Amino acid sequence: MKKRKSRISDSSQFTVYSYNRVLKTIKDWFNKKWAIVLFLCILIASSLILILKTNAKFSNSKISESLVHENKTFKTESAFAQILKEASLSGKIATPTVSLSPALQLSPTATPDLGYCLNVPILYYHHTEPWSQAVTLGHTSLAVDSGIFDEQMSYLTSHGYNTIFADELVNDLVNHIEPPAKSVVITLDDGYQDNYDYAFQSAKKYNVKLSLMVPTGLLGITSGTNTYFSWDELSTMVSSGLVRAYDHTWSHYALNDGNTQKDQFEIMTGQNELQQHLGTVYNIFAYPYGSGATSNIVTDILSKDGFVGAYSTIPGTYQCTSYILALRRTRIGSSPFPAFGIE
């Protein structure tokens, strides 16, 4: 006990001694001019470091601002990396060196201006038919077994997903509206008869919304091994309230082959025929074969024709206003949904 007490007292004496010594040293320093100069130098250097840090922080906050949607933040770096990857695929991100002054260069990556973004998966299908039929007709590369399609729709319902139409997503993006949690868009391309025979039946069973990308000139015909639903069948589906139809050109034409008049004709004939037969059209487009989605020539034609959203075949789930004319889609095959990131 005694020993311990004396140690404490020694240590406090030492503290007082040290304190006095430090004070004395500082006073001595201030008596010398060079010390004042040194002090000022340190002060200026610290201020400069502080200013640079604040600038870096500000530019970081600008990055996160574009990735934050209201209270929803893309938290992980991998999510951000994914966005960058998707955006760079569309050629929207340039990565020049940011130059603050001729002498001072910072961060080699520019802040991508992605606009307003939503993480909404857009799934896409073509044929939905029994696998045996797909085998017989040679559709296996474009088909999902209709039984599996039915299970996938059931999965959406039992896992709390909310289906929205292709135009609803575009409207949400344009108006900065957050759709209900776990929203997903289900698109079926090309107007195949089996969409009416099977997919539509599942849609009614589970009350899910289907967005059909329709090449209007092919409706009601059979070409090779492909049969397309009729306008009457399309009207029946649309009347159910579970299906909406969107322009996918007139003849399922691959845009951007250099003939802008032909592009214009294909885009607007499809849209006019939808208007004529269904009485309602949306300013939404889907690129046959994904062709033209990254072409300014084609997107300019679409914009001039009044389209505000277009669906590409570029993979991804982050949808941003900066590439609203090349929205990302996830191609679905005959596997349970978790295999495609829908969990």
What residues make contact with Zn ion under the rule CB under 5 A?
189-190, 288
DSSP string, 52-115: HHHHHHHHHHHHHHHHEETTEE--SHHHHHHHHHHHHHTT----PPEESSSS-EE-SSPPP---
Nearer to Zn ion, 188 or 320 (CB): 188
Nearer to Zn ion, 74 or 287 (CB): 287
Distance of CA 189 to the CA centre of its chain: 20
* CB 286, min distance to Zn ion, A: 7
How far apart CA 304 and CA 295 sit, in angstroms, is 14
Nearer to Zn ion, 190 or 194 (CB): 190
Nearer to Zn ion, 170 or 286 (CB): 286
* CB 155, min distance to Zn ion, A: 25
* CB 260, min distance to Zn ion, A: 20
Q: Within 13 Å and on the Cβ side, how many CA atoms surround 202?
A: 21
Nearer to Zn ion, 114 or 302 (CB): 302
44 torsion bin: left (phi>0), alpha (psi -120 to 50), beta (else): alpha
* CB 288, min distance to Zn ion, A: 4
**Nearest Cα to Cα of residue 269 among 290, 247, 285:** 247
How far apart CA 134 and CA 72 sit, in angstroms, is 42
First to last CA, the chain: 66
* CB 209, min distance to Zn ion, A: 19
With vertex at residue 194, the alpha carbon angle to CA 279 and CA 336, rounded to the nearest 5 degrees, is 115
Position closest to Zn ion via CB:
189
Nearer to Zn ion, 90 or 249 (CB): 249
* CB 329, min distance to Zn ion, A: 11
